[in-house]
């Protein structure tokens, strides 16, 4: 497999220069990332018994297939891995249902999603009805589920003090065990905001002044992982609520006079009952720690990369293990991008017959990893002030990403 991986690495370097890619810098970087993810995740899916001709075929496809075709294959490869992971967690937490699906109460006691506030004002009857709607699981802890996950897949995740030698490093994300290149190692949890709902992000418009757990997809979707924190010890209705002090003072040195003015004069729009949606999620999920991955220190390279993943909401058996909810509901609003701004443009993106998706992110390994800290290239914009500790992995990539 090491020989095949070397061939894939050489292919990545060659294909990045392929003239088929778009000339627009931002889209060029997007296509280069898709190309890398296509090779990495396809390599993983080949498995240990892969033959050289299989690798050659994938490399050939990477040079010929359109970006859209490669995107679809990446989605399929990631979904393939997550399907097995979700099935394994179901086997651990709900073994009776795994062996006999007819015992699943969620199939016979369906309920409509309501806002967290509506449950709060609904009285004891509503609370009791909600409790009945949440399927019972084995009473094991988050740590126990994590250990069982490692027994099954050979790795799990740990949160502990980062090994990066600077005072702002804080907690880091560590792989405990061994994972091959192209493996899905973590999911980025939290509340998903489409461009139509940016003004509802806590702290708007300076949303990153007091929140280090925000991440943006190429399509403009923002995920706020701060309310997820370290997860929990139950399967519960989660609505992404957390207390936010919009006048909180950001870390020293991270705010200038302009930021202070915006913080005083601007507030995010308040959520109302219709926009505060909840979903029953497994808070013990051992994969839901993507937000703890640090940027690599100077002289080091990232060993994971972000991968956009559109989870199909039709996969109801997996939904509880996808640690995200969409603010404002799951029906998309059509938006158009003009420079750095987004505007509403007509009706929903969703066409008749199209399945709804949850626009989230996963972290994919870019090489074999064994018992080490996971590093993700943050790709901060080089047109804005960056933290002192930030050392660019590739300045050109940063520039293209935010051009």
pLDDT at 21 over 60: no
* Interval 284-298: pLDDT, tens: 999 999 999 999 999
Instruction: Please report the pLDDT score of residue 354 as a whole number.
Output: 56
pLDDT at residue 325, rounded to an integer: 96
Rounded distance between C-alpha atoms, residue 225 and residue 287, angstroms: 13
pLDDT at 213: 95
Task: Please determine, for residue 113, whether its predicted confidence score (pLDDT) is greater than 50.
Answer: no
The pLDDT value recorded for residue 242 is 67
Residues 6+ apart with CB under 8 A from 118: 126, 273
CA separation (Å) from 216 to 152, 219, 322? 32, 8, 18
Angle between helices 25-46 and 67-93 (to 10 degrees): 50
Examine the pLDDT at 401 and tell me if it is beyond 60: yes
Residue (of 89, 122, 90, 126) closest to 111 by Cα position:
126
Segment 322-338 shows an average pLDDT of 73
pLDDT band at 97 (very low <50, low <70, confident <90, very high): low
Alpha-carbon 95 to chain mean position: 27
Q: Which long-range contacts (CB under 8 A, 24 or more apart) does 103-110 make?
A: 104/135, 105/135, 105/136, 106/133, 106/135, 106/316, 109/133
Q: What is the pLDDT of residues 51-66, one digit of tens each?
A: 778 888 888 888 889 9
| CA atoms of 57 and 52, how far apart (whole Å) | 9
Burial 374-392 (b: 16+ CB within 10 A, else e): bbbbbbbeeeeeeeeebeb
Would you call the peptide bond into 372 cis, given omega within 30 degrees of 0 as the criterion? no
Asked if residue 238 has pLDDT above 60, the reply is yes
pLDDT at position 353 is: 44
User: For residues 21, 24, 29 and 32, what is the CA-based torsion angle, rounded to 10 degrees?
Assistant: 0
Q: Distance between CA atoms of 48 and 123, rounded to whole angstroms?
A: 55
Ranges 17-21, 107-111, 219-223, 392-396: which has the least confidence: 107-111
* Distance (Å, whole) CA 214 – CA 222: 7
Are the C-beta atoms of 48 and 55 separated by less than 8 Å?
no
For the beta carbon of residue 214, count every other beta carbon within 10 angstroms: 18
pLDDT of 330:
60
Residue 326: phi and psi, rounded to 5, are: -100, 125
Coil, strand, or helix at residue 229? coil
Instruction: Pick 365 or 274 by higher pLDDT.
Output: 365
Instruction: Give the pLDDT mean for 304-330.
Output: 94
Mean per-residue pLDDT of the chain: 80
Q: Is the pLDDT of residue 18 over 70?
A: no
**Region 227-255: what's the mean pLDDT?**
72
3-state helix, strand, coil in the chain (%, to 5): 35, 20, 45
Sort residue 353 into left (φ over 0), alpha (ψ -120 to 50) or beta.
left
Q: What spatial distance separates the first Cα and last Cα of the chain, rounded to whole Å?
A: 37
* CB neighbour list of residue 239: distance below 8 Å, 6 or more residues apart: 115, 116, 276, 277, 278, 279, 325
**Residue pLDDT, tens place only, 151-204:** 999 999 999 999 999 888 899 999 999 999 999 999 999 999 999 999 999 988
CB 261 within 8 A of CB 161: no
- Provide the whole-model pTM: 0.80
DSSP 111: -
Has residue 248 got a pLDDT over 50? no
User: What is the model's pLDDT at position 200?
Assistant: 92
Is the model's pLDDT at 400 over the cut of 70? yes
* Closest among 37, 18, 343, 376 to 194, alpha carbons compared: 343
- Which residue, among 154, 182, 183, has the nearest Cα to 9 in the 3D structure? 182
The answer, yes or no, to whether residue 347 has pLDDT greater than 60, is: no
Pairing of strands 324-326, 190-193: parallel
* Per-residue model confidence as pLDDT tens digits over 192-231: 999 999 999 998 888 888 899 999 999 999 999 999 999 9
Which run of H or of E encompasses 122?
none
Instruction: Pick the more confident residue, 277 or 28.
Output: 28
Tokens of 341: 């701004």
Q: Are strands 369-373 and 171-179 parallel, antiparallel or unpaired?
A: antiparallel
Residue 365 predicted with pLDDT over 60: yes
């Amino acid at each position: 497999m090491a020989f095949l991986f070397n061939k894939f690495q050489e292919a990545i370097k060659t294909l990045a220069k392929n003239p088929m890619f778009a000339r627009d810098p931002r889209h060029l970087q997007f296509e280069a990332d898709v190309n890398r993810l296509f090779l990495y995740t396809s390599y993983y899916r080949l498995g240990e018994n892969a033959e050289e001709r299989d690798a050659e075929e994938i490399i050939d496809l990477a040079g010929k297939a359109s970006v859209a075709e490669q995107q679809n294959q990446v989605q399929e490869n990631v979904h393939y891995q997550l399907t097995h992971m979700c099935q394994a967690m179901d086997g651990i937490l709900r073994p009776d249902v795994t062996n006999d699906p007819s015992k699943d109460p969620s199939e016979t006691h369906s309920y409509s999603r309501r806002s967290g506030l509506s449950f709060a004002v609904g009285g004891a009857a509503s609370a009791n009805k909600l409790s009945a709607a949440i399927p019972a699981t084995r009473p094991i802890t988050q740590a126990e589920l994590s250990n069982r996950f490692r027994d099954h897949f050979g790795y799990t995740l740990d949160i502990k003090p980062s090994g990066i030698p600077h005072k702002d490093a804080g907690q880091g994300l560590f792989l405990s065990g061994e994972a091959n290149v192209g493996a899905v190692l973590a999911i980025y949890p939290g509340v998903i905001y489409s461009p139509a709902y940016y003004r509802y992000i806590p702290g708007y418009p300076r949303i990153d002044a007091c929140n280090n757990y925000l991440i943006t997809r190429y399509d403009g979707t923002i995920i706020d992982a701060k309310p997820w924190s370290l997860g929990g010890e139950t399967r519960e209705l989660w609505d992404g609520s957390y207390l936010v002090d919009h006048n909180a003072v950001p870390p020293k040195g991270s705010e200038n006079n302009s930021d202070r003015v915006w913080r005083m004069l601007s507030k995010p729009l308040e959520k109302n009952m219709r926009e505060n949606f909840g979903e029953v999620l497994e808070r013990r999920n051992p994969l839901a720690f993507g937000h703890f991955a640090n940027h690599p220190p100077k002289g080091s390279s990232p060993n994971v990369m972000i991968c956009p993943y559109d989870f199909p909401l039709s996969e109801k058996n997996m939904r509880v293990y996808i640690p995200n909810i969409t603010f404002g509901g799951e029906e998309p609003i059509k938006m158009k991008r003009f420079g750095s701004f987004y505007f509403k443009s007509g009706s929903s993106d969703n066409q008749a017959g199209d399945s709804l998706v949850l626009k989230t992110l996963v972290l994919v390994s870019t090489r074999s990893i064994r018992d080490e800290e996971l590093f993700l290239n943050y790709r901060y914009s080089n047109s804005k002030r960056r933290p002192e500790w930030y050392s660019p992995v590739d300045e050109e990539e940063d520039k293209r990403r935010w051009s």
